[in-house]
Amino acid sequence: MRELLRPMLPMIVVLAIPIVPFVLFGQERVDAQLRKWREEPPPAAFVSAAVIGLLASDIFLPIPSSAVSTLAGWQLGAVGGALVAWTGMSLGAAIGFALAKRFGGPAVAWLTRAEDLDRTRRLAERFGPALLILGRGVPVLAEATVLLVGMHGLSWRRFLPPVLLANLGLAIAYAAFGEIAGRHQWLPLALGVSIALPVLMVAAFRLAAKDTTIAP
């Protein structure tokens, strides 16, 4: 159980962020602040740069990309938010792939835990290249898959199409969710859902990998 909880702690902390303001200040005050932010949002260029920067650094830091993409949709709309989120996700994947491809094992050891890489390797034995698409929305698995295929020398031509396509689907889904949540004033709930879902997917990934065996 401890092994399952440790990598999810950063996301669980972020999951509490939308709840804490309601506990401390009450719903009316929080709703008023959200309305004010909605009426006087920061410049779109600033939001876009922040979203792209955060998502591009996801390979190095435990960034909750689902929540960031949802916020992008809330601030920039479904189309703008999806484009910005897709750009950031794709940059992060490309950076991780390039580092693993160029530096191999040392870079992979620096960017991910050996246990997570081993689990990803077992799932790759079962699903093959399709794991690049299946794992894009799963924290830990998404990064480990990118690093694994980069370390083993997959070509850019085979890497980019499935990753870009999967990132586009995720970006559209989360950004549209964020726009709808903003329109109906569901943002705190939407953030909680967008973080809780990947947390559950991490647990499923670990259980699936635990049950996977590699034939000798």
pLDDT in tens, 95-108: 999 999 999 888 88
> Crossing angle for the helix pair 187-210 and 114-127, nearest 10 degrees?
80
**121-125, 132-136, 168-172: range with highest mean pLDDT:** 168-172
The range of the structural domain enclosing residue 75 comes to 2-210
Instruction: Confirm whether 17 is domain-assigned.
Output: yes
Tokens of 173: 């889904």
Q: Is the pLDDT of residue 209 over 80?
A: no
| Position 31 confidence tier, pLDDT thresholds 50, 70, 90 | low
| Position 86 confidence tier, pLDDT thresholds 50, 70, 90 | very high
Instruction: Confirm whether 102 is domain-assigned.
Output: yes
Could you tell me if 160 and 36 are in contact, meaning their C-beta atoms sit under 8 angstroms apart?
no
Per the model's pLDDT, the better-predicted residue between 115 and 30 turns out to be 115
Q: Is the pLDDT of residue 49 over 90?
A: yes
Name residue, tokens 């889904």. Answer: 173
> What is the mean predicted confidence (pLDDT) over 34-53?
80
Could you tell me if 129 and 162 are in contact, meaning their C-beta atoms sit under 8 angstroms apart?
yes
Number of structural domains in the chain: 1
Instruction: Confirm whether 216 is domain-assigned.
Output: no
Residue 49: left if φ>0, alpha if ψ -120 to 50, beta else—which one?
A: alpha
Instruction: Confirm whether 9 is domain-assigned.
Output: yes
> What is the mean predicted confidence (pLDDT) over 43-72?
89
The Cα–Cα gap between 167 and 186 comes to: 24
Instruction: Confirm whether 95 is domain-assigned.
Output: yes
> What is the mean predicted confidence (pLDDT) over 51-80?
90
> What is the mean predicted confidence (pLDDT) over 99-119?
87
Residues near 117 by beta carbon (within 8 Å), at least 6 away in sequence: 108, 144, 147, 148
The Cα–Cα gap between 182 and 215 comes to: 49
Tokens of 78: 């479904």
Instruction: Confirm whether 123 is domain-assigned.
Output: yes
| Position 114 confidence tier, pLDDT thresholds 50, 70, 90 | confident
The Cα–Cα gap between 174 and 170 comes to: 6
Indicate the average pLDDT of the chain.
79
Render pLDDT for 156-192 as a digit per residue (tens, 0 to 9).
999 999 999 999 999 999 999 999 988 887 777 777 7
Q: Give me the phi and psi of 153, to 5 degrees please.
A: 80, 25
User: Angle 61-70-183 (CA atoms, 0-180°, nearest 5)?
Assistant: 160
